[in-house]
Amino acid sequence: MASGFFALLDDIGVLMDDVAAMSKVATKKTAGILGDDLAVNAEKASGFVSSREIPVLWAITKGSFINKLIILPIAFLLSAFLPWAVTVILLLGGIYLAFEGAEKIYEWIFPHSKPETDIPPQEMSEEEIIAHEKEKIKAAIVTDFILSVEIVIIALSSVVNEPILNQIMVVSVVAIIATIGVYGIVAAIVRMDDLGLRLIKNNDGKGFGNTVGRFLVSALPKIVKSLSVIGTIALILVAGGIFVHNLEFIHDALHSLPAIVGEALTGLVVGALSLGIYKLVKVLFFKKDKAAAH
């Protein structure tokens, strides 16, 4: 009886070691998406009055957990009964990632006028501010859902040949780490300027504390901007990696190139093609609608 109990403990220990190792690999594969997720959510969580940033971020975080509770069971069912669908969804996600990365690069090269900021003015009533917050929270949760699908599918693809129990444990661990890690860092980022202002005030604009405070205040917009650049590069590389590792003819065509070069080239090509098709369809439909109006 005792030997059976210790054998069970040994099996559990081995399983935990396997899960930890596979979780590390899966987390590494999703790192690119997490970089973009971080940049997007840092932007979504900004633009509120200081006292509302954390409550709003907490609301988005809860929405993110609910998203993953919806996505995870569906992903596991697909893995168990339609494993080929995981690869199909992964490739579709790769097209989306490449498109998003290419679109951001296009906007950097050919910038267009942006709408005025939607930060609620101070003269808004409390009810209007709450309604505005709800709209932004809803938009952030929808964006999180798309990114969460990508994170879960990429993590699942790394363990799709493992037993279903291992898949459930590994992907669930990655999903929890992604949510806590991303939104924890976002919380720290959006409060940087408040911490900086407090340091400046407490040190009467003098000394080391004042220097640190001014650095934090000035660094916040630069950090958000740099995250956007890093996230875009990550999008292209992750998208390219999805195609290189899942389509044998692409892998064979690029095997002589360094891995990062092949992935970047593939991501850029897929992104340029998908963006070009999108803009062509948009122009054609615009012309059709304009002709119908006349």
Q: Residues 26-84: pLDDT tens digits?
A: 555 555 566 666 666 666 666 566 667 778 888 888 998 999 999 999 988 888 888 88
Q: Which residue has the higher pLDDT, 277 or 233?
A: 277
Residues whose CB falls within 8 Å of the CB of residue 132, separated by 6 or more in sequence, listed in order: 118, 120, 124
- Beta carbons of 265 and 254 less than 8 angstroms apart: yes
Q: Is the pLDDT of residue 272 over 90?
A: yes
Mean pLDDT over each residue of the chain, to the nearest integer: 77
pLDDT band, very low/low/confident/very high, at 9 (cuts 50, 70, 90)? very low
Q: What percent of the chain has pLDDT over 90?
A: 15
pLDDT confidence of residue 5: 38
Structure token pair of residue 265: 């080239």
Q: Is the pLDDT of residue 3 over 60?
A: no
pLDDT band, very low/low/confident/very high, at 283 (cuts 50, 70, 90)? confident
pLDDT confidence of residue 11: 40
pLDDT band, very low/low/confident/very high, at 15 (cuts 50, 70, 90)? very low
- Beta carbons of 35 and 230 less than 8 angstroms apart: yes
Question: What would the mean pLDDT of 156-179 be, rounded to a whole number?
Answer: 82
Q: What percent of the chain has pLDDT over 70?
A: 74
Residues whose CB falls within 8 Å of the CB of residue 178, separated by 6 or more in sequence, listed in order: 30, 34, 37, 148, 151
End-to-end CA distance of the chain: 85
Q: Is the pLDDT of residue 102 over 90?
A: yes
User: d(Cα 143, Cα 149) in Å, to the nearest integer?
Assistant: 10
Q: Is the pLDDT of residue 281 over 70?
A: yes
Q: Is the pLDDT of residue 261 over 90?
A: yes
- Beta carbons of 158 and 27 less than 8 angstroms apart: no
pLDDT band, very low/low/confident/very high, at 204 (cuts 50, 70, 90)? confident
pLDDT confidence of residue 266: 96
Q: Is the pLDDT of residue 277 over 60?
A: yes
Q: Is the pLDDT of residue 151 over 80?
A: yes
